[in-house]
Amino acid sequence: MAEILPFKAVRPAKAKAGLVVSRSYQDYSKAEIAAQLESNPYSFLHIINPEYDLQEKNVGGNRFKMIKERYLQYKEDGTFIKDEEPFYYVYKIETPQDSCCGIIAAASARDYENNIIKKHEDTIAHREILFKEYLQVVGFNAEPVLLTFQDNKIIERVISETLNTATENEFTTADGEKHSLWKISNPEVAESLRSEFANIGSLYIADGHHRCASSALLAKESRAKNPEHTGKEPYNYFLSYIISEKDLKIDGFSRLISDLNSHSKEEFLFLLKKNFSIKNYEEKIFVPAEKHQFSMYLDGQYYSLQLKKTGVRASDSRSQLDAVILHENILKPILGIQDLRNDKRISYFPGTDDNVEIKRQVDSGKFAVGFAMLPPGIAEIKQIAEENLTMPPKSTYIEPKLRSGLTIYEF
pLDDT digits (tens, 9 = 90+) for 316-351: 899 999 999 999 999 999 999 999 888 999 999 886
Confidence tier at 3 by pLDDT (50, 70, 90): very high
Across the range 249-260, mean pLDDT stands at 94
Indicate whether 394 pLDDT > 90: no
Across the range 66-75, mean pLDDT stands at 96
**Sequence-ordered strand ranges (E) for 195-330:** 203-207, 237-244, 249-251, 253-257, 276-282, 293-298, 301-307
Confidence tier at 1 by pLDDT (50, 70, 90): confident
3-state secondary structure (DSSP) of residue 349: strand
The burial of 253, by beta-carbon neighbours within 10 Å (0-12 exposed, 13-18 middle, 19 or more buried), is given as buried
Domain ranges for the chain, please list them: 4-250+399-410, 253-374
Query: Measured between alpha carbons, how far is residue 310 from residues 124, 319, 365 in Å?
Result: 34, 14, 33
CA neighbor of 222 nearest in space, from 4, 411, 8, 71: 411
Residue 17 φ/ψ, nearest 5 degrees: -55, -45
What fold is seen in the domain 253-374? 3.30.1760
Confidence tier at 313 by pLDDT (50, 70, 90): low
Enter the pTM of the model. Answer: 0.88
CA neighbor of 382 nearest in space, from 238, 213, 250, 185: 250
What is d(CA 304, CA 214) in angstroms, rounded to the nearest whole number?
A: 41
Measure the N-to-C terminal CA separation of the chain; round to a whole number of Å: 23
Provide Rg for the chain, Cα atoms.
Answer: 23
Kindly report the average pLDDT of the chain as a whole number. 93
Position 122 scores a pLDDT of 82
What is d(CA 68, CA 42) in angstroms, rounded to the nearest whole number?
A: 15
Indicate whether 201 pLDDT > 90: no
Position 304 scores a pLDDT of 98
Position 380 scores a pLDDT of 93
